Structure 1
Amino acid sequence: MTVDTPTRPVGRPIVPAPRDTVARRGSVFLSRHPRLRLSLLLSAPMFWLGLVYIAALAALLITALWTVDTFTGTISQTWTLDNIIAVLTGSLYQTVTLRTVGVALLVTLVDILIALPIAFFMAKVASARLQRVLVIAVLMPLWASYLVKAYAWRSVLSRDGIFEWLVAPFGGQTPGYGLPATIITLSYLWLPYVILPIYAGLERVPDSLLEASGDLGGKTWSTLRLVVLPMIWPAIIAGSIFSFSLSLGDYITVNIVGGANQMLGNLVYTNVGAANNLPLAAAIALIPIVIIFAYLAAVRRTGALDNL
């Protein structure tokens, strides 16, 4: 008597049954709990953000509450509000704060006015090949050193520089060193950070909307003001955040082309280095932090950040 044994079809490999390992059980558990999986995925970057950013801000606030011993020059960890009161009531700090906010606002306005036509041409007029060339051209200044660009503008705006050579036949004069040179240099430095968000926002505007506006009798400026501008407003806000915040904390450009005009970053640098007064420097550094938080809160109330 013969017993028939089951035969395996030719060409079909034998697949072993999956083993119930710890890794497999963990994978199945995470697949059934997507919120837990997302929490574990974000835990590392959120921990790093809390360590580097939030902890640094807390340390800055604590340092601002300390004092410096006038005899030994050492930091005394005695908590007091003297530094913050001195910063809020001192006429020097009020003047420098107004100057810093004014320069940051002017730099932001100049960058937006320059970036809008450039980004519009890149997104809606240029061909696909020319778009790539223009994007590379916008990014190229970011490959150069910050100091090289700042000193280049110092040379351009100096007496007997390139700018004076260009405007002298027309009766013009170089602005030299000072606030105008600071605004020009900072506007150049942060312009790519404003062009790229606006360019990305304009790319998301459908061409059909522009054609529909033209078919309905809309003029060029009416189309830009009523159709394009509301749709790219979040992109403009994003670019303004970059230029405004970067200008608030800058101090190197002011040292190079600003002349005797100081900004908040220069006061922080002076108190950290020459004066060796770290608590007062921390108190001054709280001013641009409060300003940028107030700026973000004002922008958020407009609803522009909801569509970013």
Structure 2
Amino acid sequence: MLRLAGLLTAPAAWLIVVYIVALAMLLVTALWTVDTFTGAITQSWNLDNITTVLTEKVYQTIAIRTVAVAVAVTVIDVVLALPIAFFIAKIAPRRWHKILVAAVLMPLWASYLVKVYAWRNIMSDGGFFDWLAKPFGLSSPGYSLTAVIITLAYLWLPYMILPVHAGFEQIPSSLLEASGDLGAKPWTTIRLVILPLLKPAIIAGTIFTFSLSLGDYITAQIVGGTTQMLGNVVYANIGAANNLPLAAAVSLIPIVIIAAYLLLVRRTGALKHT
């Protein structure tokens, strides 16, 4: 028992200091103000920054846009991950499983910035996307909100495929065969057999894709053009605007949203058996 306590003390202390204390300091910082004359942070406690973030239309618009992007990325990744994970787990020969899983993980070995700048080139006018779409009378979305969604969906797709693949691995193939033998059509089997069993795995994947998209700001800067997300507002207020209290107040929005989402997931009981 003492040995276990000794092993857990350091990680627990690190979690408390780095995570919980950092969040508490973030909340405290949001209650401070910036002297408009000197630009210095004044430790006079008030709710002005939080009130500004909650009431001003520009912050409301950016918050809604950020949540919409995170939801869109999550839905796209779910739609893409289901057939890919099903193919790896149930259709591909067993000897190919490790190779295919490694292929899914391979993009994670590349630098985040390298991948985003690669998508910047793909989305540019005259780039690969433009060349591919031109025969169909289409064009590249350019640097826009659409480009942000596509890039983020690519970046976080492995985080959705892996838990969904693990979920498929837990479903006996005999169960799918039994559903077919009883006369169920493929879509009926998917709706009544596969999706209920995959629900915990899908939700686990959405936690990654939703939270990572919600806090991202680099992708929006590189491929988003004039698109602003909550992360960009935080970055701008820490840097050029030098308004750390307002940045802390803005950063509380995604924290509250993620906390609410995790609470909702916990109350549904979807993750009890993961």
Query: What percentage of aligned pairs have identical amino acids?
Result: 68
Match of 1:278 among 244, 252, 258: 244
Match of 2:24 in 1: 58
Q: SS at the partner of 1:284?
A: helix
Match of 2:70 among 99, 104, 116: 104
Match of 1:131 among 87, 97, 100: 97
1:190 aligns with 2:190: no
- Matched letter for residue 285 of structure 1: S
TM alignment of 1:15-26, pairs within 5 A: none
Runs of 4+ in 1 over 3 A off after TM superposition: 36-41
Take 1:149 and 1:117, find their aligned partners in 2: how far apart are those partners? 23
TM-score (norm 1): 0.87
Match of 1:208 in 2: 174
Q: Deviations over 1:74-121 (max 9, x none)?
A: 111111111011111111100000000000000000000000000000
TM alignment of 1:12-91, pairs within 5 A: 30=1, 38-91=4-57
Q: How many residues align?
A: 274
1:217 aligns with 2:196: no
In structure 2, runs of 5+ residues without a counterpart are none
1:118 aligns with 2:84: yes
Take 1:45 and 1:144, find their aligned partners in 2: how far apart are those partners? 28
Match of 1:150 in 2: 116
Which has more radius of gyration? Answer: 1
Q: SS at the partner of 2:272?
A: helix
In structure 1, runs of 5+ residues without a counterpart are 1-29, 31-35
Please report how far the alpha carbon of residue 132 of structure 1 lies from its aligned counterpart in structure 2 after TM superposition: 1.4
1:242 aligns with 2:208: yes
Take 1:62 and 1:101, find their aligned partners in 2: how far apart are those partners? 25
- Matched letter for residue 98 of structure 1: I
- Matched letter for residue 148 of structure 1: V
Indicate the RMSD between aligned Cα atoms, in angstroms.
1.1
Q: SS at the partner of 1:193?
A: helix
Q: Deviations over 1:23-74 (max 9, x none)?
A: xxxxxxx4xxxxx665444332222111111000000000001111111111
Match of 2:58 among 92, 99, 124: 92
TM-score (norm 2): 0.97
